[in-house]
């Protein structure tokens, strides 16, 4: 188990270095392709209640997918981090203007107008990660927010979102880690084995 923890830390460090090495132009161009792949995907098109992440500067950006989903009349949720570390909720947003700058300088739902959706109501969650493998196993940032949340979103279709460089042959995981069924990268959407 200890080895697994060190393996995860080492892998996280290496992959994040790759991600952080991307230029803003590369991130923008790659994100455009993400939007095209996701918006054309039948699972996304059929989903009524979708949860998406709010990207860090070097992650695939979701704002255009969020706008597309809102225009299409879908219920869109984004993560709301609770005071307790490792716990989050699905916060409904009606508009990108519902977001404010929160901790770590990242966008976050406005706490003053928070409306939550039960995780079990979600049809689709686009899950960020440091790395994924072709079986859909995910390596997160290590705080466990998604691990705890996904247990409650038991009926939901999961798609992992990452750059192609973050898809590995094998990711070390723990028993409680729930794999994703699909992966989206700038190169397209793939079904996990």
Q: Which residue positions form the known binding site?
A: 8-12, 54, 59, 138-146
Encoding tokens for residue 126? 């686009």
Tokens 């705890």 correspond to what residue?
A: 148
What are the residue ranges of helices labelled H in the chain? 2-20, 24-39, 42-46, 63-71, 145-152
Nearest by Cα to 137 from 127, 152, 145: 127
Centre a 10 Å sphere on the Cβ of residue 99 and count the other Cβ atoms it contains. Answer: 18
Q: How far apart are CA 48 and CA 43, in angstroms?
A: 10
Task: Identify any residues that bridge with 117 across adjacent strands, giving them in sequence order.
Answer: 90
| Binding site per annotation, positions for ATP | 8-12, 138-146
Q: Which residues are annotated as a binding site for substrate?
A: 54, 59
């Amino acid at each position: 188990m200890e080895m697994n923890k060190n393996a995860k830390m080492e892998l996280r460090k290496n992959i994040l270095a790759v991600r952080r090495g991307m230029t803003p132009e590369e991130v923008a161009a790659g994100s455009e392709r993400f939007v095209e792949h996701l918006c054309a995907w039948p699972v996304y098109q059929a989903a009524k209640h979708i949860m998406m992440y709010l990207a860090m500067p070097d992650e695939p950006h979701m704002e255009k997918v969020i706008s597309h989903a809102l225009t299409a009349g879908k219920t869109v949720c984004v993560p709301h981090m609770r005071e307790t570390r490792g716990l989050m909720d699905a916060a409904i947003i009606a508009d990108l203007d519902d977001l404010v700058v929160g901790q770590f300088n990242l966008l976050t739902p406005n706490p003053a107008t928070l409306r939550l959706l039960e995780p079990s109501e979600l049809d689709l969650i686009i899950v960020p990660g440091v790395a994924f493998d072709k079986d859909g196993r995910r390596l997160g940032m290590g705080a466990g927010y998604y691990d705890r949340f996904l247990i409650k979103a038991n009926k939901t279709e999961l798609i992992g979102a990452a750059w192609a460089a973050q898809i590995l042959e094998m990711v070390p995981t723990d028993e409680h880690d729930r794999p994703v069924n699909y992966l989206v990268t700038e190169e397209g959407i793939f079904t996990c084995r």
